């Protein structure tokens, strides 16, 4: 069992009608606020007006950086950083989902760097200073609202890089489940697949660790499995949206890791898929997850699959461990591809094997992808092929 440092000081305002605290929280960091958002859906829903009203009410100066893409691009990070420098921004306010929040995090770091923000992503340039970040979440998925990481894409080089740094942790996040009522069925499903995978990446681990956290992870997975279909069919179901929203934060804020420090497997593989084909991250993860599980199941790992099947899918604990294990993979496939109605193959979304070799090489950086089971380039290519 490893030691660890638990340090998640993000303050969260959870629930409806908490936005009255926004002005005070922002003002705690300064007067000049840069509002960062995506394609404008927050204007349609009315959230933009609510946020701007609170900023004005607090007497703060508002600047804007809109147009953050899904799979946010380094060009947007550079654009936001330029505004910060020019306008002497004090605090960043991200209103959106994981893409907007991720971009905002690196805008905050790039605001203190004179070169291309990509240098920060490639760790050519260290993060030396940062702007504080406040978020208003509109999509339950990536957990960026309460974690210290983010992922940025470079379209030119077809690279997608994730980076963690303690200063990237938002200071304050507003989690109002009603702000996710307008998330459509498909994006709700992709978000659920994303958070489920965040937990699986940590849960599937053969190290001796804190059983308590296994129980917590099983509870989070049961929550996602219970409420994702409810939110899909009844988008304004507060109970479902609330459970999914809080589960999204706790799936990845570091609590469940408890010192395991295991490298992740599906995420590096998926980042190559969405770097090459710009697909929704959660969909890529959904397609990969059951193949990765199938590929890693053997006599040495079966006990973890058994635990998963019994505790999450309520499979009869008296069955043979390997039977339970295989059934658990079937049940997660059933959940992802039937309950969540997600496409089940790369072929279905127009991706063939033409880039698998280079994608596999990049995923393992030409070496071995550590994790639940170490995967070399050939293993990763095999898993990609299982997704066709």
Residues that bind a copy of itself (CB under 8 A): 1-9, 11-18, 208, 210-216, 218-220, 222-223, 226-227, 238-239, 242-243, 246-247, 250, 258-259
Q: Is 360 within 8 Å of 380 (Cβ atoms)? A: yes
Residue in the block written with tokens 């080089």: 157
Q: Is 1 within 8 Å of 210 (Cβ atoms)? A: yes
Shortest gap between Cβ of 85 and a copy of itself (angstroms)?
A: 30
Residues 6+ apart with CB under 8 A from 261: 2, 4
d(CA 194, CA 287): 11
Select 35 or 247, whichever has its Cβ closest to a copy of itself: 247
Shortest gap between Cβ of 101 and a copy of itself (angstroms)?
A: 17
d(CA 86, CA 270): 36
Residue of 266, 19, 35, 248 whose CA lies nearest to 146: 248
Q: Is 305 within 8 Å of 297 (Cβ atoms)? A: yes
Shortest gap between Cβ of 217 and a copy of itself (angstroms)?
A: 9
Select 137 or 363, whichever has its Cβ closest to a copy of itself: 137
Q: Is 90 within 8 Å of 33 (Cβ atoms)? A: yes
Q: Is 205 within 8 Å of 303 (Cβ atoms)? A: no
Shortest gap between Cβ of 339 and a copy of itself (angstroms)?
A: 17
Select 208 or 354, whichever has its Cβ closest to a copy of itself: 208
Residue of 351, 39, 344, 339 whose CA lies nearest to 189: 339
Shortest gap between Cβ of 312 and a copy of itself (angstroms)?
A: 10
Residues 6+ apart with CB under 8 A from 28: none
Shortest gap between Cβ of 112 and a copy of itself (angstroms)?
A: 23
Select 151 or 193, whichever has its Cβ closest to a copy of itself: 193
Shortest gap between Cβ of 266 and a copy of itself (angstroms)?
A: 22
Shortest gap between Cβ of 144 and a copy of itself (angstroms)?
A: 16
d(CA 264, CA 280): 18
d(CA 215, CA 372): 18
d(CA 172, CA 194): 23
**Other residues' Cβ atoms within 10 Å of the Cβ of residue 254:** 20
d(CA 203, CA 255): 12
């Amino acid at each position: 069992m490893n030691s660890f440092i638990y340090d998640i000081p993000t303050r969260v305002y959870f629930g409806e009608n908490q936005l009255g605290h926004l002005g005070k929280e922002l003002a705690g960091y300064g007067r000049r606020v840069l509002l960062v958002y995506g394609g404008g859906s927050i204007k349609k829903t009315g959230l933009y007006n609510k946020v701007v009203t609170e900023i004005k009410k607090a007497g703060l100066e508002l600047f804007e950086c809109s147009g953050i893409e899904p799979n946010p691009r380094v060009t947007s990070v550079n654009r936001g950083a330029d505004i910060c420098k020019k306008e002497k921004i004090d605090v960043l306010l991200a209103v959106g989902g994981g893409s907007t929040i991720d971009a905002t995090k690196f805008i905050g770091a790039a605001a203190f760097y004179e070169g291309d923000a990509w240098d920060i992503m490639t760790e050519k340039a260290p993060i030396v200073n940062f702007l504080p970040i406040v978020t208003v979440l509109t999509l339950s998925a990536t957990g960026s609202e309460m974690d210290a990481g983010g992922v940025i894409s470079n379209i030119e080089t077809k690279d997608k890089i994730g980076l963690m740094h303690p200063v990237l942790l938002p200071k304050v996040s507003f989690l109002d489940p009603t702000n996710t009522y307008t998330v459509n069925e498909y994006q709700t499903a992709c978000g659920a697949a994303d958070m489920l995978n965040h937990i699986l990446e940590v849960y599937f681990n053969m190290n001796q660790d804190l059983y308590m956290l296994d129980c917590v992870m099983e509870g989070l997975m049961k929550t996602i499995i219970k409420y994702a279909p409810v939110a899909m069919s009844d988008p304004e179901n507060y109970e479902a949206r609330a459970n999914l929203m809080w589960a999204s934060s706790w799936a990845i804020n570091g609590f469940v890791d408890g010192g395991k420090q295991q490298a992740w497997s599906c995420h590096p593989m998926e980042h190559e898929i969405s770097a090459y084909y710009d697909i929704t991250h959660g969909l890529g993860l959904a397609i990969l997850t059951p193949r990765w599980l199938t590929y890693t199941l053997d006599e040495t790992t079966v006990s973890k699959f058994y635990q998963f099947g019994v505790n999450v899918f309520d499979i009869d604990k008296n069955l043979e461990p390997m039977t339970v294990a295989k059934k658990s993979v079937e049940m997660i496939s059933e959940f992802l591809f039937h309950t969540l109605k997600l496409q089940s193959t790369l072929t279905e979304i127009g991706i063939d094997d033409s880039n698998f070799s280079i994608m596999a090489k990049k995923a393992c950086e030409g070496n071995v992808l550590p994790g639940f089971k170490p995967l070399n380039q050939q293993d990763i290519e095999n898993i990609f092929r299982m997704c066709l």
